[in-house]
Amino acid sequence: MNIKEFCRAFKTYRDYFVKTANLIEEDRKRDCLDDYSKIADRVLKITETDNILTLNRLLFNVLSALDALIGYVYNKANGWASHKELAAMINIIKPLLNAKTIDTNQDFDLMELLHQTRNTLIHNGKFVCKFATVPSGAKDTYIPALIIIPSDIFNEQYCKKHSIAKDYFIDTYEIFNKFLEAFSKININQIL
């Protein structure tokens, strides 16, 4: 449910933000005012802070719930095999839990990154998930994203060892949308 709430909220926010940014761009072109872009950026930072904080809170809930699930499955059962009541669910989500990063030039465990992101939020109290506009895959098209920058999470030595570039990032919506797709294949009533 945490993943579902985060993905729903972020998709809604992404649509809203794109629409707002496009309206601002239309106004900028029509009005030809000096420093219009700078002023609009400052206004957006002020008006969107609460929305970004809400998305960060929802992401923290997702990271905590996922971390608890993984801890329960691994620690209580000492591995996947002996946890029979969750076997159907584990078989569906296991590939995601064992996932590495998508970029083959980088070599780190995605679950470790999510675990360390959660720990950084708890222990350091800093928002390591940043709001940014990132390439969408289509030429000259950018989309808003709540990103995790692995080099902000892992120490410099770990980053060198695993070839993690300083500017490399992970789009949290894309990750958890994959989890949502996987969890939607699970019949929770069967498990319970």
Give me the tens of pLDDT residue by residue for the chain, a chain 192 residues long.
Answer: 899 999 999 999 999 988 888 888 888 778 777 778 788 888 888 888 888 889 999 999 999 998 888 877 766 545 555 566 677 777 777 777 777 665 666 677 888 888 888 888 887 767 778 888 888 777 778 888 999 998 888 889 988 988 888 888 889 999 899 889 888 887 777 666
CB atoms within 10 A of CB 181: 12
Residue 13 pLDDT: 94
Residue 103's pLDDT is 62
Q: How far apart are CA 54 and CA 131, in angstroms?
A: 12
Q: By the 8 A CB rule, do 63 and 121 touch?
A: yes
CA–CA dist 95, 97 (Å, integer): 5
pLDDT of residue 192: 60
What separation in angstroms does the CA of 29 have from each of 22, 141, 150? 11, 18, 37
Contact in structure between 162 and 106 (CB atoms under 8 Å): yes
Token pair 């059962």 in the structure block, residue: 77
Among positive and negative, which fits the CA dihedral 133, 120, 79, 109? positive
Which helix (H) or strand (E) element contains residue 129?
strand 129-135
User: If you count them, how many residues does the chain have?
Assistant: 192
